[in-house]
Amino acid sequence: MFSFIKIVLRNLIRGPSTEPYPFGKASAPKGLRGKVKFDAHNCVACRMCEHVCAGGAIQFSEVPDKRGLKFTLWHNTCAFCGLCEYYCPTKAIHLTGDYHTAHLQKDKYGYVETGLVKYQPCANCGTPMVPVSPRLLSLAYGQVNGDIARLTHLCSECRRQICDPVSSNRSEVK
Amino acid sequence: MKSLLPQISTRSPWLYRINAGSCNGCDVELATTALIPRYDVERLGCKYCGSPKHADIVLVTGPLTAKVKDKVLRVYDEIPDPKVVVAVGICPVSGGVFRDSYAVHGPVDSYIPVDVNVPGCPPRPQAIIDGIVEAIKIWKSRM
Ligand code: SF4
Ligand code: SF4
Ligand code: SF4
């Protein structure tokens, strides 16, 4: 009898344990895997995320005017598995705490995350190339000196010419 | 009377769950949303029912496997109009990670008209509540 009264009193003091959502705010726990966010600035278009994606949600394609590569992620097949974030070398893709994913059927195919990785012309020959992201540089070299910074503006062919002119000439002879 | 009925009835829709071959992840989240006091979907006036004949809002989980397709369609036909369909999880919406499997006939919307999609694998209870709120709005407009 007394234990019953104790529980009633305790519950009265503690208040309801029901979360207020949808009538109030809902919090996302730390580390929750929610909707994916893409950051084109740090992406180096290695396409590893597209390769490992469990749901086949990610697609890279060149835009028609050849300005760069378009990243498209269809939320309606993303399993929130986090593989893309795990394997992305520059952490240009990550899962957020946003889990409010409900939408109407008419928006089904428009429910995407997009981004454009713009090409930049090679400083030497002008060939369009995917720019090297600053985050990848700092990951690879730590301290980035002037020489390395200059090389990042060159396409892979010109870089090879400068770094190893003998073997690149030899390949031309072949 | 005609205007009163929709007003009253739309306050208490009956939810019905169809498992179209799900891995059980979404079903657990649905049970969580409905049964435990922490999320308590009954605050919206909803209640789960055991018979398709009573249902108003249908929650579909799973990618519509070849094995259950006919049964799902038969149960769906038993639900009286107007009904609102909510696809819960990426499986019914697109096939999810099972897409293109020979054992999967989905996505569900190629057989059943879906109204609301709640992607996620599985979606969080709050996301499911979001979907049910949308579904109630649609159901009100159909009454
Ligand atoms: S998001 Fe990351 S993994 Fe994907 S292409 Fe860009 S750098 Fe590579
Ligand atoms: S979280 Fe998983 S399913 Fe979603 S985009 Fe990343 S790899 Fe693909
Ligand atoms: S969406 Fe994910 S959790 Fe839900 S049934 Fe499909 S595989 Fe299972």
Give tens-digit pLDDT for A100-116: 999 999 999 999 999 99
Residue A77 lies in a domain: yes
Of B40, B44, B121, the CB nearest to A79: B121
pLDDT at B10 over 60: yes
**Overall number of domains in chain A:** 2
Q: Which of A81, A109, A76 is nearest to A93 (CA)?
A: A81
> What's the mean pLDDT in A86-97?
92
- For residue A86, what is the domain's CATH number? 3.30.70.3270
Residue A86 lies in a domain: yes
How many residues belong to chain A? 174
Mutation test of the interface with chain B: which of A59, A108, A112, choosing the one with the most B Cβ atoms within 10 A?
Answer: A108
pLDDT bracket for residue B11 (50, 70, 90): confident
Question: Does ligand 1 lie within 6 Å of residue A45's CB atom?
Answer: yes
pLDDT of residue B12: 84
DSSP label at A121? E
Residue A24 lies in a domain: no
pLDDT at A170 over 70: no
> What's the mean pLDDT in A50-78?
93
Q: Are residues A92 and A150 in the same domain?
A: no
CA distance A35 to chain B (A): 9
Q: Are residues A64 and A89 in the same domain?
A: yes
pLDDT of residue A174: 44
Q: Which residue of A has its CA nearest to B131?
A: A102
pLDDT bracket for residue B63 (50, 70, 90): very high
Whose CA is closest to atom 5 on ligand 3? B22
Residue A13 lies in a domain: no
**Spacing, Cα B114 to ligand 3 middle (Å):** 17
Q: How far is CA A67 from CA A39, A158, B2, in A?
A: 17, 21, 59
Q: What are phi and psi of B111, to 5 degrees?
A: -120, -30
Q: Which residue of B has its CA nearest to A102?
A: B118
Q: Which residue of A has its CA nearest to B114?
A: A105
CA distance A24 to chain B (A): 11
Q: What are phi and psi of A36, to 5 degrees?
A: -80, 140
pLDDT at B8 over 80: no
CA distance A99 to chain B (A): 6
Residue A20 lies in a domain: no
Q: pLDDT tens across A102-161, in order?
A: 999 999 999 999 999 999 999 889 899 999 888 888 888 888 888 888 888 899 888 888
pLDDT at B66 over 50: yes
Q: Are residues A126 and A146 in the same domain?
A: yes
Residue A96's domain spans which residues?
30-118
pLDDT bracket for residue B82 (50, 70, 90): confident
CA distance A1 to chain B (A): 24
* Ligand 2: nearest atom to the Cα of A82: 1
pLDDT of residue B44: 87
Q: Are residues A155 and A135 in the same domain?
A: yes
Contacts of residue A25, defined as CB under 8 A and 6 or more positions apart, other chains included, come to none
pTM: 0.86
pLDDT of residue A135: 87
CATH architecture of B5-142: 3-Layer(aba) Sandwich (3.40)
The winner for highest mean pLDDT among A81-85, B2-6, B47-51 is A81-85
Least distant ligand from the CA of A88: 1
Q: Please provide the average confidence, as pLDDT, over all residues in chain A.
A: 88
Question: Does ligand 3 lie within 6 Å of residue B112's CB atom?
Answer: no
Q: Which of B137, B6, B19, B26 is nearest to B89 (CA)?
A: B26
Q: Are residues A80 and A153 in the same domain?
A: no
Q: Which residues of A touch B123 (CB under 8 A)?
A: 99, 101-102
Give the amino acid at A10. R
Q: Which residues of A touch B109 (CB under 8 A)?
A: 105, 108
What is the percent of chain B where pLDDT is above 90? 62
Residue A92 lies in a domain: yes
Q: Are residues A111 and A124 in the same domain?
A: no
pLDDT bracket for residue A171 (50, 70, 90): low
Whether B110 contacts chain A with CB within 8 A = no
